[in-house]
A and B are shown apart, each in its own frame.
Chain A
């Protein structure tokens, strides 16, 4: 198996705070064809009770990128980006991400399972806001193949 099983349960530091910008939300919404006004028009978002424009549901993946970099950066992980396939993705939300949020992600590797010569790696990123409240948990399952960098 190409992946180090000792990654499970390893403690990773929280990522540096990610400040969600209004124009970034608009740019991302346009890129994923999310054309509802709540993503681009602050008054439409405020009418729904939000402080500013609401990020589309999959925007959370942008914030979790820093945790993927942590995983790839572990010198003993055995995970090389070119061998990684994204097999599954899930998000569990307490609330949507809104422009102005300052978000931190905390990575944990919850499972590693051999699949032939490859490994299925399950990682969870818990995303919290500046008050420490849960916003969304992103669970990614990566299929990691063998091979050197």
Chain B
């Protein structure tokens, strides 16, 4: 995992600025770990035979794992996660996690809009060149 962030949530923000980005390498172990931590034991997230039986291209990462790791990208920039007022995503494409090579999920966080007290941070979340979350937006308090 590599991570980088620029500036701080209380500094001056300009629409279009990248505030943080990182790539997270997911493996099958990551999925088992998330299943245990979250209580979501749907077998499509760890059994190839079940994933194949329901017509999936392979074992998938939990959508909520992708949503969770995406917002984690901006935490050091935010400082205090209590600044997060709203966070929402649409799940569009699945992240297929290969048993040997895993999957690299890349997150880029950009300033989407700014007002007097808050900013909208737009997360671009992609895997294998495709966007996996749409309208992934975090509204944060900036004062």
Chain A residues at the B interface, C-beta cutoff of 8 Å: 24, 27-28, 30-36, 38, 48-50, 54, 56-58, 61-62, 65, 82, 85-93, 95-96, 139
Identify the closest chain A residue to B79 (Cβ).
A48
- Determine if B91 and A28 form an interchain contact, defined as CB atoms under 8 angstroms apart: no
A88 and B81 in contact (CB under 8 A), knowing A27-B37, A30-B33?
no
The interface bits of chain B over 88-116 (1 if a CB of A lies within 8 angstroms of the residue's CB, else 0) are 11110000000000000000000000000
> What distance in Å separates the Cβ of A109 from its nearest Cβ neighbour in chain B?
18
Q: Which residues of B contact A34 (CB under 8 A)?
A: 68-69, 72, 75
Q: Which of B64, B76, B80 has the most CB of A within 10 A?
A: B80
- Determine if A36 and B81 form an interchain contact, defined as CB atoms under 8 angstroms apart: yes
Identify the closest chain B residue to A65 (Cβ).
B39
- Determine if A90 and B34 form an interchain contact, defined as CB atoms under 8 angstroms apart: no
What number of B residues sit within 8 Å (CB to CB) of A? 33
Chain A interface mostly: mixed
Identify the closest chain B residue to A27 (Cβ).
B37
Identify the closest chain A residue to B54 (Cβ).
A82
A31 and B82 in contact (CB under 8 A), knowing A89-B67, A91-B87?
no
A90 to B91, CA, bound (A): 11
**Is B4 an interface residue, CB under 8 A from the partner?**
no
Q: Which of B68, B86, B88, B89 has the most CB of A within 10 A?
A: B68
- Determine if B71 and A58 form an interchain contact, defined as CB atoms under 8 angstroms apart: yes
- Determine if A54 and B81 form an interchain contact, defined as CB atoms under 8 angstroms apart: yes
User: What are 5 A-B pairs at a CB distance below 8 A?
Assistant: A31-B30, A33-B72, A49-B82, A65-B39, A65-B40
Q: Which 4 pairs show the lowest CB-CB distances between chains A and B?
A: A32-B68, A90-B88, A31-B37, A58-B68
Of B37, B67, B86, B90, the contact of A28 (CB 8 Å cutoff): B37
Q: Which residues of B contact A85 (CB under 8 A)?
A: 91
Identify the closest chain B residue to A84 (Cβ).
B42
> What distance in Å separates the Cβ of A53 from its nearest Cβ neighbour in chain B?
11
**Is B36 an interface residue, CB under 8 A from the partner?**
yes
Of A50, A62, A89, A96, the contact of B89 (CB 8 Å cutoff): A89
Of A24, A38, A49, the contact of B81 (CB 8 Å cutoff): A38
